[in-house]
Amino acid sequence: MFFRKNKKTEGSAPPPPAAQGLASFDSGSTQFLTGDATKDQRSVEELLESIARISAMVSKVRGPEDLERLLRTIVDTSIERTRAERGLLILEQSGGELMVRVARRFSGDEGEDVEGDVKFSASTVRRVLDEEDPARDTFDPDADGRDLGASIVDLKLRALMCVPLSIGQGVESTRGALYVDSKIAARQFNVQDLSYFQALSQQISIAVDSAKLHIDSLEKVRLEQSLEIASAIQGGLMPSIPEDVDGLDVFGWYQSAERTSGDFYDFAPMKDGRLAVVVGDATGHGIGPALITASAQASLRSSLRFISDPGQALCMLNEDLAERLEDGMFVTLFLGLFGVDSVTYLNAGHTPPLIWRMETKEIESIAGDGPALGMMDEFPYETPASVKLNPGDVFLAITDGIAEARSGPGSEDLFDEDGVREVLSSMAGEGKEAREIGEELVHRVLEFAAGNREDDMTLVVVRCTD
């Protein structure tokens, strides 16, 4: 939210909002004009000067520190122009509580923060917010204290003014008030003071709205830039497609539903000459799952440099993820160690990969061996299975975003495993290379979904050549 509520007592940044002119005043807010031409001219000039100063600061708001300076200037201006002793910017929180957002007073010619527990006439502020009308009160120090609020008695107030502020629109709007008070007997606010204060507050509402829009647009640009950087980093973590692998022709592809992906694939050469092929999918998509997959990818790749047993590698990764993942978060993962004539594998809750057999022209499915990583921290991924591979056989691993691609938003018509099998059978049967098989599947899925992406999509194709 634009205002803090927890404290009680891809491109260049957009241009700042256009300079704001005077708001249209309601009939009550021009009562500060007295009919004295000289005095009225001075009052209007002071008002315009205050508006110009605040508007100039709005155009320079770039972040929280600039915003803090703007809010302090707004309160200081309220004190200075009303010749009060103290000024507050008070906001109403979602539960209805009143929060002092800024509290200022003048020490000599300089404004300073009011420290500690800031007391004020909450009943007056509440009345102003509820009735949406400004208030001006004068208090008799000789009056019975029972007729006055506790804060007024404790502060020994002689006069106060309070005007409503409405910041933002719709569900994002915030109600608040500008409040000034004085303990000096000689400074008792009159109708003209209140009208002037109300006119100033209307312009302040516009200025704060403009600052809110400006800082929101800047934050959006920063977020876009951060996502672009995260996307570029994740793209850099995806491996290059290995070439000249003895007996194997491989291809990998991924596409995120958002800027960053919860899917990943990896190719890692083993010391014994085999090729480790990994396909993973973290729950969800976006920056959070992307961080999880980056960590899992790096950890597994590091382990496979020294560990030839896929079960041991997955046990280590599972223990690591189980300690760090929040409830409901997990990673499905397929790990296969490909040699020239076989693949040794473990499937941790991942979408079952498929193998098209050259000899029979049929497709087999590789079942799972255990739960997804992060679900059971001591699960023993210890008994890898092995499958024979013959020349011409084609292995295909996907994430669920491919099989579950929809023909349109909200449609129940899915591309489904049948669609995947059809493409694999057709392309492999024609003797196509791994890249051609993968690219055709991508084309068919994206065409089916008409460009709609509800989930991340990843695939890996491995074709046996010898």
**351's tokens:** 């979408």
Q: How many CB atoms lie within 10 A of CB 324?
A: 10
Residues 6+ apart with CB under 8 A from 281: 262, 263, 331, 332, 333, 350, 351, 399, 400, 401, 456, 458
Rounded Cα distance between 193 and 83, Å, is: 9
DSSP-assigned beta bridge partners for residue 91: 99, 176
Percent of the chain beyond pLDDT 70? 73
pLDDT above 90 for 391: yes
- Most confident of the following: 33-47, 129-143, 287-301: 129-143
DSSP code string of 111-166: EEEPPS-----HHHHHHHHHHT--EEEE--TTS-GGGS-HHHHHHT--EEEEEEEE
Output Rg (C-alpha) for the chain, integer angstroms: 34
User: What's the pLDDT tens digit per position in 5-30?
Assistant: 333 334 444 444 433 333 333 434 44
Look-up: residue for tokens 């539960």? 95
Residues 6+ apart with CB under 8 A from 352: 365, 366, 367, 368
pLDDT at 13: 43
Rounded Cα distance between 49 and 247, Å, is: 80
pLDDT at 83: 85
Q: Which of 192-196, 285-289, 398-402 has the lowest mean pLDDT?
A: 285-289
Q: What is the DSSP letter of 232?
A: H
pLDDT at 11: 41
Q: Which of 121-130, 203-212, 335-344 has the lowest mean pLDDT?
A: 203-212
pLDDT band at 232 (very low <50, low <70, confident <90, very high): low
pLDDT at 193: 80
Residue 14 in 3-state DSSP?
coil
Given a contact cutoff of 8 angstroms between Cβ atoms, the answer to whether 262 and 281 are in contact is yes
**257's tokens:** 């539903």
User: What's the pLDDT tens digit per position in 335-372?
Assistant: 999 998 999 999 999 999 999 999 999 999 988 778 99
Rounded Cα distance between 419 and 404, Å, is: 10
Mean pLDDT, residues 446-460? 86
User: What's the pLDDT tens digit per position in 286-299?
Assistant: 666 767 777 787 88
The order of strands in the sheet holding 385-388 is 263-269, 275-282, 331-338, 342-348, 385-388
| Strand positions, DSSP E, 382-444 | 385-388, 394-398
User: Considering the entire predicted model, what is its pTM?
Assistant: 0.55
Rounded Cα distance between 133 and 114, Å, is: 26
For 175: left if phi > 0, alpha if psi spans -120 to 50, otherwise beta; the answer is beta
pLDDT at 212: 65
Following CA atoms 306, 310, 313, 316 in sequence, which dihedral angle do they give, to the nearest 10 degrees?
Answer: -160
pLDDT above 90 for 300: no
Catalogue all structural domains in the chain, each as residue range(s) with its CATH number: 27-221 (3.30.450.40), 238-464 (3.60.40.10)
How are beta strands 174-182 and 248-255 bridged, if at all? unpaired
DSSP-assigned beta bridge partners for residue 176: 91, 165
Rounded Cα distance between 324 and 389, Å, is: 37
Q: How many CB atoms lie within 10 A of CB 316?
A: 16
Rounded Cα distance between 297 and 278, Å, is: 9
pLDDT band at 50 (very low <50, low <70, confident <90, very high): low
pLDDT band at 237 (very low <50, low <70, confident <90, very high): low
Given a contact cutoff of 8 angstroms between Cβ atoms, the answer to whether 279 and 460 are in contact is yes
Average model confidence (pLDDT) across the chain: 79
**399's tokens:** 């994430």
pLDDT band at 390 (very low <50, low <70, confident <90, very high): very high
Mean pLDDT, residues 222-233? 60
Closest among 399, 405, 416 to 459, alpha carbons compared: 399
Burial 350-366 (b: 16+ CB within 10 A, else e): bbebbbbbbeeeebeeb
pLDDT above 80 for 186: no
Long-range contacts of 171-177 (CB under 8 A, 24+ apart): 174/1, 174/2, 174/3, 174/91, 174/92, 175/91, 175/92, 175/129, 176/89, 176/90, 176/91, 176/92, 176/101, 177/89, 177/90, 177/125, 177/128, 177/129
